[in-house]
Amino acid sequence: MNKARSRRGTLSRLPDVTMQVSRTTVLRWILAGMIGLSGGVWPALTPSHAGDQPQPRTIQFTLDRPLDAAAAPFVMASVGGLFSAEGLAVGTNVATSSADAIARVADGSSDFALVDINALIGFRDKPGAAPVKAVFVLFNQAPYAIIARKSRGIKALADMEGKNLGVAEGDLSIRLWPAVARQNGIKLSSV
């Protein structure tokens, strides 16, 4: 006895095949109807013309100093099209200092700024300071370095005694020097 007959009792195999085709046909019509309905609804949910792309979100980003290695991730993202791929139009400008960059965020002329976290702490410590906050830290460790020409004979921090220490204007890392000197047994008055 064939399987169709055992399942359907007295139905022959031919009506079972016909019934199977009918179910498939019905399922195809249901699927076609669903696709048709979604085709009618989908255009209402999307822009009607290919040229009606959503406008990119404009963001003003401020650097606290002229371009240097710290700005590399942002420059590469811009050049590589990563911002535009996310629907962002990022404009970049350069402030005169971290304090200037923070002030631009505080007054709304800039949306984000890359600044020295120490400057932000100082800004926030002032009475009536705007509610500007850090949302991302670029470096896990501060990239500070003391560099010297080989001809000056400085091979260790202790060799700094009797030498002049220079720092870029507006760079807040000089505030760390007293702690570094004390930690390494260097007299502040000798440098």
8-state DSSP, 71 = G
Distance CA 133, CA 117 (A): 10
Distance CA 17, CA 24 (A): 11
* 16-71 pLDDT, tens digit each: 444 444 555 555 555 554 554 444 444 445 555 556 678 889 999 999 988 888 88
- Does the model's pTM come out above 0.85? no
Q: Encoding tokens for residue 112?
A: 């984000």
Helix (H) or strand (E) holding 88: strand 88-94
